[in-house]
Amino acid sequence: MKNISLFAMAAVALLFGACSNNAEKDVIGKQEVTVENGRFTPEVMWKLGVLTEYAVSPDGSQVLYAVRYTDMEQNKNNIDLYLMPTVGGEAQRMTVTPESEFSPTWVDDQTIAFCRGSQIISMKVSSKRETVMAECERGFEGFKLAPDGNSMVYISTIPVERPEHLNKLYAGLDKTTGRINEDLMYRHWDNWVDEIPQIFYAPLENGRAKMDKVVNIIDSTFECPMRPWGGTEQYNYSPDSKLIAYTCRKKTGYDYAHSTNSDIFIYNLETGETRNISEGIMGYDQNPVFSHDGKMIAWESMERDGYESDKLRLMVMDLESGNRTDLTEDFDYGVSGISWSSDDKELAAVVMYRGTLEIFAFNRETKVIRQVSAGMHDVNGFQMNGDKIIATQVSMQYPATLYAYNLIDEKSEGTKVSTFNDDILSQVRMGKTEPYWIKTVDGKEMLTWLIYPYDYDSTKTYPALLFCEGGPQNIVSQFWSTRWNFEVMSGAGYFVIAPNRRGCPGFGMEWLEEISGDYGGLCMKDYMSATDYFADNFKQIDRERIGACGASFGGYSIYWLAGHNYDVKGYDEGRRFKAFLAHNGMFNFEQQYLETEEMWFDNWDLGGPYWDWNNPQIKKSYANSPHLFVDKWNTPICVIHSEFDFRIVASEGMAAYNAAQMRHIPSRYLYFPDETHWVMKPQNSILWHRNFIDWFDTYLKK
């Protein structure tokens, strides 16, 4: 592996003081908010601060965290850094700039570091004096400092080069927008693959990176971290700062599009040698973490290639012997976000467990597994300092908030630490949430959340919405979202029925895997069972005013339910649902198979290409394509889709809407030319929510 000088550092490191008052005027920050009538609306939701990242100080006494605030008029947001004691208390704002700060890190107990634009900045906590540590023309996506403080590894991108036989066709055409491709994976989720992320090693001298000594650790056309989800969690230093363990799927093009087989590689910074320590494991291997003594390494590991929702096992390797141990062999749930205890005897991880995300501890020696956290919440991630834990926690009633735990806790609800959204949330009357275990058609029990309207009065009746989860293998947990926000639906005056139907993780592998190859089977019956249960047993739910909504696989679910919403006993006109809304859903499976980018997804879930008609699984899967049931549509439907969704392309939504129009079904089409599989821009999100509420109000309230 050769040393390469990719980027030039500024000749003189610049020193910056705190921002001037004039600069502060342009900064997007927290606003004063008055909530009318206690109703939680989309507008109120977007006034809340969004906790994005955080880092605990080396001595465990302070936590540095990043919060994003939005200016709806500007249609922009901004992230600044804050500092507070880990036991709670007043927070100090550390940055006040019009540029967002991210990847917060501690250099030592008195110095922090972070990314801003094309720079990595260090700051003295006491004076807020800033120093440029590194500068990169292509920018940074994150970084980690070595334990000995003498180097760092950062994420940046390199451009994808055209092959010469194609490049010559572009000679003299500097204004052409044409793209020529001769392989797959030319676009991914929401971006054209014009650049790929890689990790770079840079030595530090007197707190500054020597960018003329940069080493590209990957030195190839492979990704690290892996798109679209990966970040700095996909690589780590060894305690002695001599090794880098990283995640990489060493495939490109057709092979990349057909495989999930990533591996854990260890790069020796002294010799430049790389070795694969997960060879022979065929699924995703990711997010390696060294033990404190440096003798072991743990990572998340899937067994099967091409199956993105396989169980994430907790794999531990003895680096000297090479022996690998699966600590979750007899545990029916997957793990994520691994950390070692201070004595390396236990590992902690987040587990999707029976409707919530919780911290579990795994004893490496005894194999005993115990639950550390428990409650009506999700622990989305955590950091450990000794045995103390600082976690990001959400529920359906509050956004990401810092909570404190201890590794010795037994099913603790945690202690709230941060309070930056309390002034707004204290003005809101959230709809209460209750869990129900409902009998399915095959006699099993299914966890379904019921969220009440915010102004609930037991003497009145209300309309209800069935929420259809995406994924297809995603949990319906105590999550918080700026799109599918149950409290916004509650604030609009609706009950929300949210089932963990077949395919949702957290209820064992059998429940999880039943959905693959059977999209129109028990998972759809689960939706009907949940709807009928509440329609039959809750007099406050008006059974003739029930709608259904969902995105991605949830959007597919809406299209499928629309074609099976007739001759239902006990409902007026035989229609269980009186209005539908589908966001970015699959409509035509044959079309979808050839338009998506990660081919392994449809190969696994549908069984393969639609032209393989001799395969019984293919016949069964494609027979459940919603477009085959349009002749049965009889219910108003709203279709939403976005142009930059490369997983389920916009033509799927347009086809569904056009079908409804051709059938003279009352219908509406909301199209975003600048959004992806998600709706991220603030004003687009407000329009999305206003349209959502208006659509269902039109057919369920009037």
Active site residues: 552, 645, 677
Burial of residue 653 (CB within 10 Å: 0-12, 13-18, 19+) is buried
What is the edge-to-edge ordering of all strands in the sheet holding 235-237? 235-237, 243-248, 263-268, 274-276
Beta bridge partners of 487: none
Beta bridge partners of 78: 69
Report the distance separating Cα 144 and Cα 113, nearest Å.
Answer: 10
Beta bridge partners of 335: 351
Q: Judge contact between 446 and 435, C-beta under 8 A.
A: no
Sequence letter at residue 679: V
Q: List Cα–Cα distances, 139 to 154, 157, 611, 702, in angstroms.
A: 10, 8, 45, 52
Computed from CA positions of residues 125, 129, 133, 135, in that sequence, does the dihedral angle turn out positive or negative? positive
* Residue 290 phi, psi (nearest 5): -75, 145
Report the distance separating Cα 348 and Cα 308, nearest Å.
Answer: 22
Reference 285, options 302, 298, 297, 307; nearest CA is: 302
DSSP state of 304: S
Strands (E) located in 109-194 = 111-116, 119-124, 130-135, 142-145, 151-159, 187-188, 191-192
Report the distance separating Cα 305 and Cα 669, nearest Å.
Answer: 37
| Residues near 246 by beta carbon (within 8 Å), at least 6 away in sequence | 199, 217, 218, 224, 234, 235, 236, 264, 265, 267, 288
Residue 615's SS3 state is coil
